[in-house]
Amino acid sequence: MSSVLEATRAGAQTAPARRPVGWLRATVERESVFSWMIVTPPVLFLMLFLGYPFFYGVYLSFFQREVARPATFVGFGNFVKLSQDPIFWLAVKNTILFTAVATVLKASLGLAMALVMNQDFKMKAFTRAMLLLPFIVPTVLSTVAWQWIFDPGMGLFNRLLMISGLAKTGPSWLGNPTLAMVSIIMVNTWRGLPFFGISILAGLQTIPTELHESATIDGAGTWGRFWYVTLPSLLPVIFIVTTFSIVITFFDFQLVYVLTGGGPANSTHLMATYAYSISMGAGQMGLGSAVALSMVPVLGLLLAVLTFYVRKA
Amino acid sequence: MVGELTWRKRIFGLWLPLILFLVIALFPFTWMAATSLKTNAELYNPKASPLYIEHPSLVHYISLLNETNFLVWVGNTMLVAVIATGISLLLGTMLAYPLARMRFAGGALLALAVAITYLIPQSLLFVPMADLIGRLQLGNTLTAVMLTYPTLLVPFIAWLLMGYFKTVPKELEEAAMIDGASRWRAMTRIILPLCLPGFLSAGIFAFTLSQNEFLYALLFLSKSSVRTVPIGVVGELIRGDAFYWGQLMAGALLGSIPVALIYSFFVKYYVAGLTAGAVKG
């Protein structure tokens, strides 16, 4: 580096030394060279810390590898083992159910939130900031609060049920398989709803008012304007937000890890928490990698849909 | 008649649903605060009102600060979030600038790769990542998370910044270069300063995400002195006995406040970052 600087200084004084420096500078100034010089460090970083773990995970999934034991190659053995594992299939079913229900709830309630927010009222910016709070507060911390809300003895839900006289003793929210599933869907919806609401609201604000005006002139009522103007204009936003949300929800880990730990009796295990409990709890890294990799087809499908959509648009 | 109609529309179309959404969004925080300010005697008394506080007390906060490593966790979380955000902004800019403003061999492929890495979730990578960190002997060091958080943040930041970088006209940089500035100078002195709102959006988003991160922290940080707030709270404040909710809620509330404060100062940029991907496509 310093030699280059010296050469530059020397080049400024004596004419003959100028040519190689000029050549170097001209090379660096070329778009492709400059681009790759700048892009290389982040690319190397991502290759080491994203690319390498990913392919190493694929490699691991073909081995039976337990902590502090030599690995043995088992081919597709881990995947065969998983296909015969009822808990794995339960986790697959739970993940799909959890993602589907939570996404539908978030999208429909988010649309409602956006429509309500898209009116003129005082303290709008402040209200929007308040509504976004569930999304920005560290998930684990709000999930711990929800755990206490669900507490069977003194939690808020059961206290309210008892005070209002709706029930003598409240249910065990996280202790009953069905209710536990309902509970994790509830918390996920609570947290993700503002993301939908605020994104759709931003989309609503880009719809030109002329569209609504001309629809009104053509005789469209409130419902007609919503159905023929608002909703079609919003579809791209809803599509993108939903796809993103599906990715995040499908691979969710911390919510279930904190709230139920996958219980009671594995009834709320998602694929991510099951992968964790196999690899970190039981120490079977190979099998755990196989569980994690079983989620790749879903990711691939979503990526394909998204790429197709972006190409079309 | 018409006045009454719009009035009714205002109540059922705006105020009632708005209040409902606000109550749903905020009641867990109210419950957190109410719990943290009650003494155990009041907290576990079935006859006391669940939300009203009869004898407010800071006893849970005092025990949280005196008996646990909570302040150490807050310090660790801040340090990690600042450094991870800094590294990510630097690397993200280096990735986004050429992709947004230059034509080079492999550029299109690289843009696609960034988009794909953006969507690769942590739960897919954590098993081999734990192995990698173990082999680099970084277990139980803050370096482990400072190095791994940028893998979550860089693709996102690059994607967000590309949008901002594209909005600056190419003529600006061409003019600077005709005046004798190098590409590097044109980038650092002309184009990047114009994209400050983009850096604020990306930075604030990365910062809140770093504070939120759980899985890698859970995997790599098991010693109390290196823990961050989320795993400290889950790993050490949840104990076997039943009477820990007061302290736990005090921790959850205090742990949320720094994020909420920073967010409240930059809410405009946060919303811009949040909606950039969706609205711009």
Residues of B in contact with A247 (CB under 8 A): 119, 121
pLDDT per residue as tens digits for the range B8-32 = 888 888 899 999 999 999 999 999 9
DSSP, res A63: E
pLDDT at A224: 87
Rounded to the nearest angstrom, the minimum Cα separation between A88 and chain B is: 16
The verdict on A6 and A125 lying in the same domain is no
With beta carbons under 8 A apart, name residues in chain A contacting B110. Answer: 39, 43
Q: How many helices (H) and strands (E) does chain B have?
A: 16, 0
* Best CA proximity match to A238, nearest among A115, A88, A59: A115
Q: Compute the 3-state secondary structure of chain B and give helix, strand, coil in percent, each to the nearest 5.
A: 80, 0, 20
Chain B interface, best mutation among A50, A131, A270, by max B CB count within 10 A:
A50
State whether B139 and B229 are in the same domain: yes
| Same domain flag for A94 and A168 | yes
Same domain, A151 and A274: yes
Mark which of B13, B33, B57 sits at the end of a domain: B57
Candidates A113, A133, A303; nearest CB to B119: A303
d(CA A74, CA A79) in angstroms, rounded, equals 10
Residue A161 and residue A36 in one domain = no
**Does the distance separating the beta carbons of B104 and A31 come in below 8 Å?**
yes
Same domain membership, residue B125 and residue B85? yes
Longest dimension (CA), chain A: 96
State whether A295 and B124 contact (CB < 8 Å). Answer: yes
Judge contact between A241 and A54, C-beta under 8 A. Answer: no
Nearest to B127 among A137, A139, A292 (CB): A292
Among partner residues B28, B91, B107, which is closest to A142 by beta-carbon distance? B28
CA A236 to chain B, closest CA, distance in angstroms equals 8
Please report the residues numbered 176 through 235 in chain B whose beta carbons come closer than 8 angstroms to any beta carbon of chain A: 182-184, 208, 211-212, 214-215, 218-219, 229-231, 233-234
By CB atoms closer than 10 A (0-12, 13-18, 19+), residue B4 is exposed
Say which amino acid occupies A306.
L
Q: What is the mean pLDDT of chain B?
A: 89
Quick one: closest CA in B to A233, which residue?
B279
B267 falls in which pLDDT band (50, 70, 90)? confident
Classify residue A256: in a domain, yes or no: yes
B249 and B230 part of one domain:
yes
pLDDT number for residue A19: 52
Residue-range definition of the domain harbouring residue A205? 77-312
Closest residue on chain B to A109 (Cα): B21
Q: Is B224 a residue whose pLDDT tops 70?
A: yes
CB contact under 8 A, A50 and B117: yes
Question: What interface predicted TM-score (ipTM) does this complex get?
Answer: 0.90
* CA A175/CA A178 separation, integer angstroms: 9
Q: What is the mean pLDDT of each run of 10 residues along chain A (313 residues)?
A: 46 47 81 91 94 91 81 88 94 96 97 93 90 93 94 88 84 92 97 94 88 86 87 89 90 93 91 93 89 90 82 72
| Residue A20: predicted pLDDT | 58
Residues 6+ apart with CB under 8 A from A177: A264, A265, A267, A268
Same domain for A92 and A155, yes or no, is yes
| Domain of residue A277, CATH code | 1.10.3720.10
Residues in contact with B11: Cβ distance below 8 Å, sequence separation at least 6, in sequence order: none
Nearest to B202 by CA among B268, B157, B168: B157
In a domain, A60, yes or no: no
B83, B47: one domain: no
- Residue A260, C-beta contacts closer than 8 angstroms, at least 6 positions apart: A174, A180, A183, A184, A268
> Which residues of A fall within a CB distance of 8 Å from B94?
38-39, 41-42
Interchain CB contact of B5 with A (< 8 Å): no
CB contact under 8 A, B183 and A34: yes
Same domain, A8 and A85: no
Does B254 lie in the same domain as B118?
Answer: yes
The answer to whether B18 and A116 are in contact (CB under 8 A) is yes
What is the dihedral sign for C-alpha B52, B56, B57, B61? positive
Whether residues B52 and B180 fall in one domain: no
What letter represents residue B169's amino acid?
A: P
Contacts of B36 in chain A (CB under 8 A): none
Put simply, whether B262 touches A (Cβ < 8 Å) is: no
The reply to whether A81 and A153 lie within a common domain is yes
Write down the H helix ranges in B102-195.
107-119, 122-135, 142-167, 170-178, 183-185, 192-194
pLDDT at B80: 97
Question: Amino acid identity of B256?
Answer: S
Torsion of CA B43, B46, B51, B56, to 10 degrees: -40
Residue A65 within a domain: no
Taking CA atoms, B98 is separated from A37, B120, B191, B210, in Å, by 10, 23, 12, 26
Q: How far off is chain B from A178, nearest CA to CA, in Å?
A: 22
B 235-254 residues inside an 8 A Cβ radius of A = 238, 245, 248-249, 251-252
Residues A219 and A158 both lie in one domain: yes
Query: How confident is the model over B85-122, as pLDDT tens digits?
Result: 999 999 999 999 999 998 898 888 998 888 888 878 88
* Paired tokens of A34: 């400059």
Q: The pTM is what?
A: 0.89
Is residue A59 in a domain? Answer: no
* Range(s) of the domain holding residue B40: 2-57
**What is the domain-level CATH number for residue B184?**
1.10.3720.10
* Residue-level pLDDT at A13: 46
Chain B CB contacts of A239 under 8 Å are none
Residues A32 and A112 in one domain: no
B14 and B106 assigned to the same domain: no
Whether A155 and A7 map to the same domain: the answer is: no
pLDDT at A8: 47
Q: Which of A122, A127, A136, A239 to mutate to test the interface with B (most CBs of B within 10 A)?
A: A136
Are the beta carbons of A131 and B21 separated by less than 8 Å?
yes
- Are both B101 and B72 inside the same structural domain? yes
Strand partners, A73: A63
CA distance B241 to chain A (A): 14
Q: Strand pairing of A63-64 and A72-73?
A: antiparallel
Q: Do B91 and B152 touch, CB atoms closer than 8 A? A: no
Interchain proximity A145–B219, CB inside 8 Å: no
pLDDT at site A18: 47
User: What pLDDT sits at residue B3?
Assistant: 62
Is residue A262 one of the residues assigned to a domain? yes
Residue A177: how many CB atoms within 10 A of its CB?
16
pLDDT at B52 over 90: no
Cβ of B275 within 8 Å of Cβ of A199? The answer is yes
The arithmetic mean of pLDDT across residues B156-179, rounded, is 90
pLDDT at residue A176 in the model: 92
Chain A residue numbers with beta carbons less than 8 Å from the beta carbon of B230 are 138-141, 254
- Residues A122, A261, single domain; the answer is yes
* Domain count for chain A: 2
B114 and B128 in a single domain? The answer is yes
Instruction: Please indicate whether residue B277 or residue A220 has the higher confidence score (pLDDT).
Output: A220
Smallest Cα distance from B273 to chain A, Å = 10
Q: Pull the structure tokens for residue A106.
A: 């978030």
Domains held by chain B: number: 2
**Cβ atoms of residues A197 and A131 within 8 Å:** yes
Measured between CA atoms, how close is A215 to chain B, in angstroms?
Answer: 20
User: What percentage of chain B exceeds 90 in pLDDT?
Assistant: 52
**Which of 51-90 (B) contact A at CB < 8 A?**
none
Whether residues B51 and B68 share a domain: the answer is no
Residues A158 and A95 in one domain: yes
Asked if the Cβ–Cβ distance from B183 to A29 is below 8 Å, we say: yes
CA distance B91 to chain A (A): 5
Mean pLDDT of B269-278: 76
What pLDDT score does B75 carry? Answer: 95
Same domain, B102 and B241: yes
Regarding whether B113 and B71 lie in a shared domain, the answer is: yes
Contact between chains at A53 and B98 (C-beta distance less than 8 A): no
